[in-house]
Amino acid sequence: MVDEGMDTGAILAQRRVPVFPNDTESSLAARVRIEEHLLYPQVVDAFILQKSSQAN
Protein backbone atom coordinates (compact mmCIF):
# COMPACT_ATOMS: atom_id res chain seq x y z
CA MET A 1 0.00 0.00 0.00
CA VAL A 2 2.96 2.30 0.43
CA ASP A 3 5.40 3.00 -2.36
CA GLU A 4 8.16 5.49 -3.04
CA GLY A 5 5.89 8.01 -4.76
CA MET A 6 3.64 10.75 -3.46
CA ASP A 7 -0.03 9.79 -3.81
CA THR A 8 0.84 7.06 -6.30
CA GLY A 9 -0.58 4.02 -4.49
CA ALA A 10 -4.01 2.51 -4.78
CA ILE A 11 -7.00 4.52 -3.58
CA LEU A 12 -8.31 2.69 -0.52
CA ALA A 13 -11.30 4.96 0.04
CA GLN A 14 -12.40 8.44 -0.82
CA ARG A 15 -15.12 10.94 -0.14
CA ARG A 16 -16.35 14.00 -1.95
CA VAL A 17 -15.58 17.35 -0.38
CA PRO A 18 -17.26 20.45 -1.76
CA VAL A 19 -15.06 23.23 -3.11
CA PHE A 20 -16.58 26.66 -2.74
CA PRO A 21 -15.69 29.76 -4.81
CA ASN A 22 -14.46 31.61 -1.73
CA ASP A 23 -12.34 28.71 -0.41
CA THR A 24 -8.77 29.32 0.53
CA GLU A 25 -6.15 26.59 0.63
CA SER A 26 -6.59 26.61 4.38
CA SER A 27 -10.40 26.37 4.44
CA LEU A 28 -10.42 23.55 1.87
CA ALA A 29 -7.67 21.69 3.72
CA ALA A 30 -9.68 21.94 6.94
CA ARG A 31 -12.74 20.45 5.23
CA VAL A 32 -10.65 17.64 3.72
CA ARG A 33 -9.03 16.93 7.10
CA ILE A 34 -12.42 16.46 8.75
CA GLU A 35 -13.36 13.83 6.17
CA GLU A 36 -9.95 12.15 6.46
CA HIS A 37 -10.40 11.85 10.22
CA LEU A 38 -13.84 10.28 9.75
CA LEU A 39 -12.74 7.93 6.97
CA TYR A 40 -9.40 6.75 8.37
CA PRO A 41 -10.75 4.54 11.19
CA GLN A 42 -13.29 2.99 8.81
CA VAL A 43 -10.52 2.04 6.37
CA VAL A 44 -8.35 0.62 9.15
CA ASP A 45 -11.28 -1.42 10.50
CA ALA A 46 -12.05 -2.78 7.02
CA PHE A 47 -8.39 -3.67 6.49
CA ILE A 48 -8.21 -5.49 9.84
CA LEU A 49 -11.42 -7.39 9.12
CA GLN A 50 -10.13 -8.39 5.69
CA LYS A 51 -6.81 -9.63 7.11
CA SER A 52 -8.61 -11.42 9.91
CA SER A 53 -10.96 -13.25 7.53
CA GLN A 54 -8.01 -14.27 5.32
CA ALA A 55 -6.26 -15.77 8.36
CA ASN A 56 -9.22 -18.02 9.16
As a whole number of angstroms, the distance between CA 9 and CA 22 comes to: 31
pTM for the full predicted model: 0.72
pLDDT digits (tens, 9 = 90+) for 20-50: 999 999 999 999 999 999 999 999 999 999 8
Q: Where are the domains of the chain?
A: 14-56
**Who's near 32: CB < 8 A, 6+ residues apart?**
17
